[in-house]
Chain A
């Protein structure tokens, strides 16, 4: 029974409930942790979780190796060798917090608080807390990994409709999946997609790859990366010219339709085929199926469409199809539901999250990162655009940056990140908080150990009107603490005047659960619960109530979705209408690459836009498409997940490989004018000819070093990760020896 890990008194194995936060988009599968003698010996999915229903993905199933990795940080560290050397010594929490506090206070006194950058990678729960800390400290320079993920997609929908509207899968008859890969990236939703297929829902899949969801599609449009805008406009042209659009909706509720119609007319099918590589007849079939099957839902994805130099406009053109066909805010179409908590919308309640994270107005502070360079971003997004960090570090404009406080910072998120590191070396002080020792922590002067979500409380909600607030499943590993403990601790050490982040004011915090442990480590678990209660006050849910339901609970008094809300309230856009022509973009249309209409521009570097460059670098480089066993770099270090794809490898089309003399497993070089890496070749029909798919963030072969740091979408600042150029060649043994 012990060997079979059967829970119960006989074995002393207890099942404790938590959620997985290894990936951090909308998933958060419920976790049953099998605990014996204070150690997790196995995990499985919680059956009662309304979204994941007992399932996990390969990453979540490897939780045990995540929690007990040898690479866990166990104590605070200070750097004793040069930055990047990784030479670190353990220090006490007291010394670590003293050093951080002294540095931040000194910089604040000398040149102002805006010289400190606060940054957050994964996980997301700490974000409202960190933003509040930054603003209360006085710095507008808060940015996150959302500088390269999701935000630009949200911007596109907001520019069109004033808000996001998600696919209403339960009642749809047709699902248009636009470059999403839920079978590998959001597995908690996978069985419902399969069920939808089984009940006869039509699937249109737009994806440069033959990803698993393309395998269940009625129509798969395998477009050249970055041509989404041209494809969407061509589909719009079919829908409009064949009279299949929703005339009532368009006539009454949209702005700029005539100009949009004229723009779409520039993309007849033959031209669209030439640009996108998708056969004209297939484009037409897809447009007709989407426009005539009612209702039809569009499933977008966080990054693929917007990881292009014309990303936001491409995504706007895609999203516009929803309104054009009358599928906006109708059952089975795309339904707008308000934000609930941590970027999850439609969980059936509202919170004071915005009020909590924005205690001060941006206008009362100096300009935040990227505000001048990406004014549309600054108009819409309550963060800095972190892609502008290298520039501001180098130039000191509009103000010099002197310190960096990172939580889960991974420098490989930036294109051409060697230049970022070079620029960061100018900083007086770098502090990084992480679960693991990483390449990025080796650049920090002080490193603090964070615990995983299984060692602390986590509050998560789901569109199924379900919420969970967890208790720690095990004690923190080593001296690690929760991210929020660290933020509360810093707020106290910095003496911030803020009753929520620092209830002790100018006094040292000493209360249990709202103070420091004997070893100097922060423990603010009670204060965390109080702040959650404050944030959730509008719905009345409390941490105590949530903890009484360890596997989660239905949201009390959940607000159920309503439809066609615009008929009563208009659209939350400047014109009150859906905007084919965006009022906000119109304001900035004097800038290159910014237009009111969702104009299509080729990727800045592509076989069509830069034929000379493409002669030397003939492959479209598409980076970061999800592999099932990895989420960014987070599970590289786990032997179980790593065993499923051992080597850094580029996916190539077998036909391309033959013409380059490359066989499966051969060593190949990927190069661009910016950099080069060597990886193994993995040949698959998953990939279309002419495209090289390379997963990102491998320390030994970081493909983002091939992408220029200024290869950015002018609207969002997002990098063109999925539409650059590269050369691929076999590495001969001689070359390898010479290196």
Chain B
């Protein structure tokens, strides 16, 4: 089974709980640079009364055909066999930033040691039947994690309820 994040954009309120839960789970030291593994954006469209504000929480997407894996010259980035999570082996990373150039989502971060770090989908927690920290904490249940097809089915079910006018 593969794992993916899903963000229900209509439920994300930009509360930042996921970002901090990630910092706590992963002992992230956040200094003056934006090194958090999960980032939250307020996206504003339009002006005045018509302006629309939306919130998006982003972290590594654990792409199936992950460009960062292809770009990494040392094999430091690899897919974990069981969980299919895209993981970094710090010892192998040479800090060349190739992954940053390859990643379409701007995920790679570099700590004081210059080595790439990013979300590992809390894979140890997953192995023990626990949700990723960011998913567990989410107050509106906007952020979910699971098998991509199961996640899609949930979205489809909601759409069906909407179409039926019952919800």
Contact = CB atoms under 8 A, between A and B. Distances in A.
B54 A215 contact: yes
A250 interface: no
B125 A4 contact: yes
B65 interface: no
Interface string A660-700: 00000000000000000000000011100000000000000
Contacts of B28: 640
A6 to B, nearest CB: 5
Interface in B105-151: 122-125, 127-128, 130, 133, 136-142
B25 interface: yes
Contact of B44 (A55, A57, A685): A685
Interface string A221-253: 010000000000000000000000000000000
A603 interface: no
Contacts of B5: none
A210 B53 contact: yes
Given A4-B124, A194-B141, A210-B51, A187 B17 contact: yes
Nearest to A282: B49
A89 B21 CA distance: 36
B36 A55 contact: no
A212 B130 contact: no
B53 A183 contact: no
B136 A183 contact: no
A556 B144 CA distance: 35
A632 to B, nearest CB: 17
Contact of B137 (A4, A45, A628, A646): A45
Nearest to B12: A212
B20 A43 contact: no
Interface in A34-69: 42-45, 54-64
B137 A44 contact: yes
A263 to B, nearest CB: 29
B30 A639 contact: yes
Contacts of B128: 1, 4, 6
A5 interface: yes
B130 A6 contact: yes
Interface string A337-350: 00000000000000
Contacts of A5: 25, 125
Interface in A198-213: 198-200, 210, 212-213
User: How big is the A interface, by class?
Assistant: 35 or more
Nearest to B36: A643
A44 B52 contact: no
A531 interface: no
B46 A628 contact: no
Interface string A618-644: 000000000011000000000111011
B10 to A, nearest CB: 8
B44 A199 contact: no
Interface in A417-464: none
A44 B136 contact: yes
A654 interface: yes
Given A55-B138, A183-B140, A684-B42, A212 B21 contact: no
A132 B133 CA distance: 42
A56 B138 CA distance: 7
Contacts of A200: 167
B149 to A, nearest CB: 22
B11 interface: yes
A61 B122 contact: no
A43 B128 CA distance: 17
Contacts of B55: 212
B24 A222 contact: no
Contacts of B95: none
Interface in A162-180: none
A27 B144 CA distance: 23
B53 A686 contact: yes
Q: Which of B24, B25, B29 has the most chain A CB atoms inside 10 A of its CB?
A: B24
A55 B137 contact: yes
A191 B125 contact: no
A62 B20 contact: yes
B141 A191 contact: yes
Interface residues of B, number: 49
A312 B127 CA distance: 55
Contact of A212 (B14, B30, B122, B141): B14
A216 B11 CA distance: 9
Contacts of B139: 55-57, 183, 187-188, 190-191
A346 B64 CA distance: 50
A6 B137 contact: no
A45 B136 contact: yes
A644 B16 contact: yes
B21 A44 contact: yes
Interface in B1-37: 10-11, 13-17, 19-21, 23-25, 28-32, 34, 36
B24 A64 contact: yes
A458 B138 CA distance: 24
Contacts of A210: 51, 53
A36 B162 CA distance: 47
A183 B139 CA distance: 8
B21 A61 contact: yes
A621 B140 CA distance: 31
Nearest to B165: A200
Interface in A114-157: none
A568 interface: no
Given A188-B139, A654-B47, A62 B15 contact: no
A684 B20 CA distance: 23
A3 interface: yes
B81 interface: no
B53 A215 contact: yes
Nearest to B47: A685
A635 B51 CA distance: 30
Nearest to B137: A56
A685 B23 CA distance: 29
A184 interface: yes
A184 B51 contact: no
Interface string A1-38: 10111100000000000000000000000000000000
Nearest to A1: B124
Given A1-B128, A639-B30, 18 more contacts: A4-B128, A5-B125, A54-B137, A55-B138, A56-B139, A57-B17, A58-B20, A61-B23, A190-B15, A190-B139, A198-B167, A212-B14, A215-B53, A640-B20, A641-B20, A644-B19, A646-B32, A655-B47
Interface of B: 10-11, 13-17, 19-21, 23-25, 28-32, 34, 36, 40, 42, 44, 46-49, 51-55, 122-125, 127-128, 130, 133, 136-142, 158, 167
Please list the 10 inter-chain residue pairs (A to B) with the smallest Cβ-Cβ separation, ordered nearest first: A4-B124, A685-B51, A187-B139, A183-B13, A61-B20, A58-B16, A212-B13, A190-B139, A643-B30, A55-B139
14 contacts: A1-B124, A45-B136, A45-B137, A54-B136, A57-B139, A63-B24, A183-B140, A191-B141, A212-B55, A215-B53, A215-B54, A628-B15, A644-B19, A644-B40
